[in-house]
Amino acid sequence: MCYAIPGKVIAVTNNIATVDYFGELRRAHVMDGIAQIGDYVYAQGGIVVEKISAADAIPVLEIWREQFFELKKVDARLSSTSTKGNNTIASLIAKAENGGNLNRNDMLAILSAENRTNLEMIYTAANRTRRNRLDNACCVHGIIEFSNHCLNDCLYCGIRAGNKVLKRYRMSSEEIIDAADHAIKLGFRSLVLQSGEDQYYTDAMLAAIVKEIHERHGVLLFVSIGERSKECYRKLYESGAYGALIRFETSNKNIYERMRPGKKLQARLNLIRWLKEIGFILATGFLISLPGQTQDDIINDILLTKSLKPDMYSFGPLIPHLQTPLATIEKPNLSYILKVIALSRLVDPDAKILATTALETLGPDAGAAGLLAGANSLMIDATPSKYRKLYDLYPGKTGTDESVEAMAEKTIKLLRSLGRAPTDLGVLL
């Protein structure tokens, strides 16, 4: 499978390319001058990741030509179902859809909505907004979880240092590069390299892994390795990891400091802001249903995420893990998470919002429900299966027994059924 559509570069100004996908124009950064007018390229996350020859691109485009327009029709049908109402929720939705700013009270009303009709109204409005702003583009990211060692002791996390029951693993540099090769062969064009905070991997080791993958493949590489030094991140960027996935976890300082012993929210936010400043494609967000977290906190979380101007929102439910101090807390409802997705979309209409793997544990159709409530990206676990179960952040991870191929096939089927296409998510022109 190759679930990516090549586009044709029709203009380049100041290293920004205009990429044409069957008449749909999107913007993408050209790094290292790899593409010029007339070139066929793959773009991911608003970055041109690979130039391909016309001989390679044209047959792929032929396969996509018909499907491309069919998918748009499916998406248009699914996102035109408008549930009407004439209550407060309906008027707030109208306000958001007409370009108005939702204030905190408006946001609170949406987060507190309960009955079925109101919920449907909120989800469908967010889905319409997603389509109006970003069309049916969808990005599928693969994640390779390369080490479950972690020096932190976060109360919510299954791989916390204090979990003495968990069998620990570290993938060697060769294993990580092989896993990336495999994922890219399967068609992934965006990969996240994630681990616990593990100093075993020196800056030089990480940089060498990134450099090797970057040199071998046209792929957008994210690192998700927690609070490493600025020098480390700078080296990784220079080696070709242009993306960083790092959540701030919660905007509530007290909760943050309780949940992450010895850690400071301000330090995390400083790092996140700096990563964005130096040019990283930033994915960030928060956990939902931390103990003591209120709806006001969630509103702050959404507003903080928006203010960080991330290239991707990544937030999800906290799933209680038995070997953590939060073993007995309650899992959030799927409908609550969907409301947070929808509200984020209404508050930040152009956002790229990930339907996370933790969300998918909330039900067999939770990923699809997320995509129909305003999300537009998915993450698939591309960790070698012998390690996958050991990357035990939370229980019930979907697909822990399946091959990456099988999960990717399933995801493609799902995206087709929802009318989503793998054009790049870059800004529509």
Is 394 near ligand 5AD (CB under 6 A)?
yes
Candidate list 247, 345, 352, 388; residue touching ligand 5AD; CB under 6 A: 247
- Provide the b/e sequence for 201-219 (b: ≥16 CB within 10 Å): bebeebbbbbbbbbeebbb
Rounded to a whole number of angstroms, the minimum distance from the CB of residue 245 to ligand 5AD is 8
Stretch that binds ligand 5AD, among 36-44, 317-325, 384-392, 416-424 (CB under 6 A): 317-325
Stretch that binds ligand 5AD, among 21-29, 215-223, 311-319, 344-352 (CB under 6 A): 311-319
Candidate list 235, 321, 352, 397; residue touching ligand 5AD; CB under 6 A: 321
**334-347 vs 104-112: helix crossing angle, rounded to 10:** 150
Is 223 near ligand 5AD (CB under 6 A)?
no
Residue 172 burial by Cβ neighbours in a 10 Å radius (0-12, 13-18, 19+): exposed
CA angle in degrees (0–180, nearest 5) for 203-204-206? 65
Residues between 121 and 180 that touch ligand 5AD (CB under 6 A)? 156-158
Is 393 near ligand 5AD (CB under 6 A)?
yes
Residues between 59 and 118 that touch ligand 5AD (CB under 6 A)? none
Is 287 near ligand 5AD (CB under 6 A)?
yes
Distance, CA of 139 to CA of 421 (rounded, Å): 8
CA distances to 333, 353, 359 from 363, rounded to whole Å, are: 10, 19, 8
Stretch that binds ligand 5AD, among 44-52, 101-109, 199-207, 313-321 (CB under 6 A): 313-321
Is 313 near ligand 5AD (CB under 6 A)?
no
For residue 102, what are the contacts with CB-CB under 8 A and spacing of at least 6?
92, 95, 96, 110, 343, 346, 347
**88-97 vs 104-112: helix crossing angle, rounded to 10:** 130
Distance, CA of 76 to CA of 173 (rounded, Å): 44
Q: Which CB, 246 or 343, lies closer to ligand 5AD?
A: 246
Is 249 near ligand 5AD (CB under 6 A)?
yes
Number of chain positions touching ligand 5AD (CB under 6 A): 13
- Contact between 378 and 367 under an 8 Å Cβ cutoff? The reply is yes
Q: Which CB, 156 or 242, lies closer to ligand 5AD?
A: 156
Residues forming the site for ligand 5AD (CB under 6 A): 156-158, 247, 249, 287, 316, 318-319, 321, 358, 393-394
